[in-house]
Amino acid sequence: MNLRSISKLLALLAALAMWPGAYAQGQTQPSPSPAATPASAATSSAPEFRSAFEGYQPYTDEKIISWKEANDVTGRIGGWRAYAKEAQQPAGDSGPAVAKPADPRAGQTKPVQVKP
Q: Give backbone dihedrals phi and psi of 31, rounded to 5 degrees, phi first.
A: -80, 145
The rounded distance, in Å, linking the Cα atoms of 89 and 83 is 10
Q: 0.75 exceeded by the pTM?
A: no
Residues 42-100: tens digit of each pLDDT: 566 788 898 999 999 999 888 899 999 999 988 898 888 888 888 888 876 555 555 66
Closest by CA position to 83, among listed 103, 69, 73, 95: 73
Is the separation of the CB atoms in 98 and 88 below 8 Å? yes
Is the separation of the CB atoms in 89 and 97 below 8 Å? yes
